[in-house]
Every structure is written in C-alpha cells, then in structure tokens.
Amino acid sequence: MSAWVALVVILLGLPLLAWWVSRRRMWSRLRPSPAPDTSEWRVRRDIARRHELSPRETGEMESAVDAGRAVDDPRLRAATVEWARYRLDARATQPRWIEGRWLPVLLIAWGAGVVAHVVFAVAEGRWGDVNWLTAAAWVGWAVFGWRSRSGPQRALERNSGPPSTGQRE
C-alpha cells in the first residue's frame, strides 16, 4: 500500500512541484528575454494588415514578388514593395554556406561537363547516350531557380515607380 501512495505522490507531486518552481520569480529573472518574433508569416501578416489586404490580395502580392511582376493597385504596389524589401533583407542576413565561393564554381564546371557530353554525343550521332528528359529537367530547374532568386529584386524595381499604363514607349 505504501508503494502505491509513493507512486501517486511522485506522479502527481513532481509535475506540480515543477510547475510551482517554474512560476517562481527568481527563475524568470534568470531566463533570457525572448527575441522579437520576425518570422516570415508574422511579417507577411503585418504587411497585409498595414495595407488592408484581403487573403486573395496577400496571395497576389506574394506571387508578384516571387514572379517579379508589376501590379496595378496602389495598395498592392506598396505592399509588394515592402514584401520584396523584406525578402531581400532576409536573404542578405541568411548564412551563405550554400552560396559559398566553391559551390557555384563546382556547379558551373559540372554543367559545362554535361553540356560538353551532350554536344559530343549529338555531334557523333549517339543521340541515345543523352538522357533528354533529365537534361530538360535540369534546364527547367535552373531557369526556375534563377527566376525565383531574381524575383524580389525585379518586383521591387517594377513596383517602386509610378504604375505603367500598359503601353510601350
């Protein structure tokens, strides 16, 4: 019987003791204050509130920044500029381990090797040696990566000035 009482005291008492100790003022002084929340969803929500955007307009703003295109609505233009600036600033402060000095060099060398293989295989009439589906997929991913990487900068440039009239000069 005493074993059961000890088990109940431990199972109920330890969590209550832990809760009580965590609520003490001395522990709150030892904990560091939380960092301000600058997560992407919160910034996006604040921009949408500040410019009074609906959920559909918020999605349109995001897609305009990702695609780097101009929008016509003045509220949407201002929000797009603000979101593009945030994305560019966030990219500038991210650790750049993936975009170091050697990775682009290695990717360019690898791409040159693949292109040379394709050119020589086609020149020698060995069309079957080239995996055309993989080559097309890699070209597509490269174009997509470049476009998505340059999208915020293009959106910032296209939405910062006055809206275009749609006519070419």
Contact partners, residue 91, CB within 8 Å, separation at least 6: 152
For the whole model, what pTM was predicted? Answer: 0.55
Query: Tens of pLDDT along 64-119?
Result: 998 888 999 999 999 999 999 998 888 777 666 555 666 667 777 877 888 888 88
Instruction: Identify the pLDDT of residue 96.
Output: 61
Name the DSSP class of 168: -
What is the biggest distance separating any 2 CA atoms in the chain, rounded to whole angstroms?
A: 93
**pLDDT tens by residue, 127-137:** 787 777 877 88
Closest CA to 154 of 70, 61, 47, 35: 70
